[in-house]
Structure 1
Amino acid sequence: MAKINVSVIRQGIRGRLKVREETRKFYNGIFIDLGELVLFTGRVIKQMFQAPFEFREFAKHGFLLGNKSLPLVAVTGFIMGLVLSMQMHPVLADFGAQTLLPGVVAISMVRELGPVITGLICAGKISSGIGAEIAAMTVTEQIDAMEVSGTRPLSFVVASRITAATLVVPILVIFADAFSLLGSFLAVNIFEETSLTLFFNRSFSMMGFVDFLPSILKTIFFGFFIGLIGTYKGYTAGRGTESVGLAANSAVVSASLTIFLIDLVFVLITSIL
């Protein structure tokens, strides 16, 4: 019995030590990854302000990213406005406040739902696409060939995509907000007849400059980090073919988490101010 107990105790100790070692490696990996991301960000920002600027690549990727993401963003925004209005109308009608519905939906979409939902869509669409594309270039040694030939891959490949994402995401958010109001207008007309002019007057009468400014600022940060994380995951991908899928998956998860963290910071700052 004594030998059995000692064996069980030893196995338990080894199991705990193994769990602690895996936990330590996990947290060390996170901090190492964050440190490398900070260094990568510094190098990319430095390349952004060094001539020559890749305007052609910036314009090309801006058009491609926006063109590919716009249909999904528009449909999602339209459905969000439609569903939100249909869910809130009976509640407001119980208090005789259904005339406030356009303004409530507009504030909800502009302040929070529009930027966050669009950011998550772009994280899944843009960040994963950038990560997979650059990871494929890394695997096929195209990045190495650029460095050997004298082309700056951080400027030509990375900085142009980050700048394009930073510009495109706020524009996509504006489209999402516009289509959400259109969906809300159709939902309101299901319950009562309302003119488009009256609907938009009620929508914007409850909003002020303080509602637009934080939304625009955080969408700029959304776009920057969506592009940054996608390019970082692709640029630092391994040499195997499976690293392409890993880079795309990791980019989506990291970008989505970053969007929630940025949104939390902006909500805390606006609440304090």
Structure 2
Amino acid sequence: MASSLNIADKTHNVLVEIGDMTLFVKRYFKSFFTIPFEWRELLRQCYVVGNKSLLLVAVTGFILGLVFTLQSRPTLAQFGAVSWMPSMVGISIVREIGPVITALVCAGKIASGMGAEIGSMRVTEQIDAMEVSGTNPFKYLVVTRITATTLMLPLLIIFGDAVALFGSALVEYLKGGVSFVLYFNKVFDAITFNDVVPATIKSFFFGFVIGLVGCYKGYYCEKGTAGVGKASNSAVVYASMILFVVDFIAVFISDIFFEI
């Protein structure tokens, strides 16, 4: 009996969380289309989200390309299909592995940072002070951050894909003597319009989810320093879970509209 009540309470909490997040999204779009817009803060957040994540994305992408190629090469060699390596790696990274891995890495860095930053402002009553002074804290803190992640994550994913392909090309050059020019020629011959467009479109949704969850958890942070830590941790967990759901929906829709 107690376990069933516990499950019911958890289900209720999840549904309430979904409802609150839906209202948060509605409030974002309502604030986004009202003037004035915080352009200076948006540019600053684009710098924070984009530029300061380049090194992390580059290291992750490079190691991803190295490991993926090193692990796949022996299997393809058994079937005499090593020549398919550039095509296989290129399509896999561009369509699925690159966007998802980069989004998860950025969720760990960006969502947790936003949750902790806005949560600290909530705990120290800085947000309340902004409301009293006549400033719209939601528009200044939330709208700019969500918009920045939505715009910057596709660029980070493209950069991460390029670095991952370079790492894969480096392995092929060292292990198989394949030149960089030949490798990338095969990659670009294999990648089609139907590979690039769905991956690019869903990367915008990945960025929106990361910014949304990070800002939501921080904006409604519980009081105390423990609440800030909880907001930062739950932002990463929730963002990662929603990213997988969004990716599944995006793959399902792309299979319908782009598989001709």
Q: Same fold judged by TM-score > 0.5?
A: yes
Separation in structure 1 between the aligned mates of residue 133 and residue 85 of structure 2, nearest angstrom: 60
- Does 2:22 correspond to 1:38? yes
Aligned position for 2:153: 169
Aligned position for 2:235: 251
* TM-score of the two chains, using structure 1 as the length reference: 0.92
1:74-153 mapped onto 2 (5 Å cutoff): 74-153=58-137
Separation in structure 1 between the aligned mates of residue 89 and residue 150 of structure 2, nearest angstrom: 26
Q: Which consecutive residues of structure 1, in runs of 5 or more, have no partner in the other structure?
A: 1-16
Separation in structure 1 between the aligned mates of residue 18 and residue 2 of structure 2, nearest angstrom: 24
Give the counterpart letter for 2:157 in structure 1.
Answer: V
Moved runs in structure 1, 4+ residues, more than 4 A?
none
Aligned position for 2:224: 240
After superposition, the C-alpha distances for 1:131-169 in whole angstroms (9 at most, x for unaligned) are: 010000000111111111111111100000000011111
> Of residues 166, 181, 186 in structure 1, which corresponds to 2:165?
181
Aligned position for 1:24: 8
Give the counterpart letter for 2:51 in structure 1.
Answer: N
> Of residues 53, 60, 63 in structure 1, which corresponds to 2:44?
60
Separation in structure 1 between the aligned mates of residue 254 and residue 232 of structure 2, nearest angstrom: 33
CA contact (8 A) 2:86 2:184 kept: yes
- Give the number of aligned pairs: 257
When the two chains are superposed, the root-mean-square deviation of aligned CA atoms in Å is: 1.0
Q: CA deviation at 1:96?
A: 2.2
CA contact (8 A) 2:173 2:180 kept: no
- Does 2:204 correspond to 1:220? yes
Q: CA deviation at 1:130?
A: 0.2
Separation in structure 2 between the aligned mates of residue 164 and residue 91 of structure 1, nearest angstrom: 41
Q: CA deviation at 1:40?
A: 1.1
Give the counterpart letter for 2:35 in structure 1.
Answer: A
Q: Secondary structure at the match of 1:143?
A: helix
Q: CA deviation at 1:68?
A: 2.2
Q: Which consecutive residues of structure 2, in runs of 5 or more, have no partner in the other structure?
A: none
Q: CA deviation at 1:186?
A: 0.8
Give the counterpart letter for 1:124 in structure 2.
Answer: G
Aligned position for 1:260: 244
Q: Secondary structure at the match of 1:52?
A: coil
Q: CA deviation at 1:107?
A: 0.5
Give the counterpart letter for 1:85 in structure 2.
Answer: T
Separation in structure 2 between the aligned mates of residue 170 and residue 268 of structure 1, nearest angstrom: 20
